C-alpha cells in the first residue's frame, strides 16, 4: 500500500533552512573576489562587486569600483538586503522552530519581498552600468553573480511560502488529519 501526502510540519524546518541557503548564497555573491564578470577571450579582465582587475598571470592591476556611485549603490543594496534576510531568518526560526507563531509569518514574507526588490535592483544596475564603463569585447557573468540571483530566487519562493502558510495553521501544528493526494489500496 502506497500513500502520498503533504507533511506540513516539515515546513517548519525546511523553510528556515531555505532562508539559510539564501543567506549563504548572498554571502558568496558579496564576498567573491574572483569576480562577477570576466572577459571571454584571454581572461585578462575581471570585476567583482568591489573592484576590477586587468592583467595576466601574476601581474594584475586592480582598481576599486567604489569610486563610482553605481557600484556604491549596488554594494549598499546587497548588504542591506543581506541584513534584512538575516533578520527574516532569525524571526522565522523563532516563529517556526521554537514555537509555532503564525502571526509572524506575514511579517517574514514582507521582509523577504523587500529583500527581493533590493537584490533585483542591485543585480540589474550592476551589468547595465558595468557595460557602460567597459566598451571593449564580450564579457560573461560568472558563478558569483549567479549566486546573487540564486539567493533572490530562493527569497521569492520563501516569500510566497510565508505568505501562504498562515492558511495552514492546523496542518503546521499537526492537529489536522493528513490529506492524501494519492492512495493505492
Within a domain: 62: yes
Within a domain: 143: yes
Pick out the chain residues at pLDDT < 70.
Answer: 1-11, 41-42, 135-137, 168-185
Within a domain: 1: no
Q: Which domain holds residue 85?
A: 16-176
The per-residue pLDDT for 1 is 44
Within a domain: 35: yes
Within a domain: 116: yes
Within a domain: 182: no
β-pair type (59-64, 51-56): antiparallel
Q: Are 68 and 129 in contact (CB under 8 A)?
A: yes
The per-residue pLDDT for 166 is 72
The CATH number covering residue 30 comes to 1.20.140.150
Within a domain: 139: yes
Backbone angles phi, psi at 58, to 5 degrees: -100, 0
Within a domain: 181: no
Q: For the chain, what is the domain count? A: 1
Amino acid at each position: 500500500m502506497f500513500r502520498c501526502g503533504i507533511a506540513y510540519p516539515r515546513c517548519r524546518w525546511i523553510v528556515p533552512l531555505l532562508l539559510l541557503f539564501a543567506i549563504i548564497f548572498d554571502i558568496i555573491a558579496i564576498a567573491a573576489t574572483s569576480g562577477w564578470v570576466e572577459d571571454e577571450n584571454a581572461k585578462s579582465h575581471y570585476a567583482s562587486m568591489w573592484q576590477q582587475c586587468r592583467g595576466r598571470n601574476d601581474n594584475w592591476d586592480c582598481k576599486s569600483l567604489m569610486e563610482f556611485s553605481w557600484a556604491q549603490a549596488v554594494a549598499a543594496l546587497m548588504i542591506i538586503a543581506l541584513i534584512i534576510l538575516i533578520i527574516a531568518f532569525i524571526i522565522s526560526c523563532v516563529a517556526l522552530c521554537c514555537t509555532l507563531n503564525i502571526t509572524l509569518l506575514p511579517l517574514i514574507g514582507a521582509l523577504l519581498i523587500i529583500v527581493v526588490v533590493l537584490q533585483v535592483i542591485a543585480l540589474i544596475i550592476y551589468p547595465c552600468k558595468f557595460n557602460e564603463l567597459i566598451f571593449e569585447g564580450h564579457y560573461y557573468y560568472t558563478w558569483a553573480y549567479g549566486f546573487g540571483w540564486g539567493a533572490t530566487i530562493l527569497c521569492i519562493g520563501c516569500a510566497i511560502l510565508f505568505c501562504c502558510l498562515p492558511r495552514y495553521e492546523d496542518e503546521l501544528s499537526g492537529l489536522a488529519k493528513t490529506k492524501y493526494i494519492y492512495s493505492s489500496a
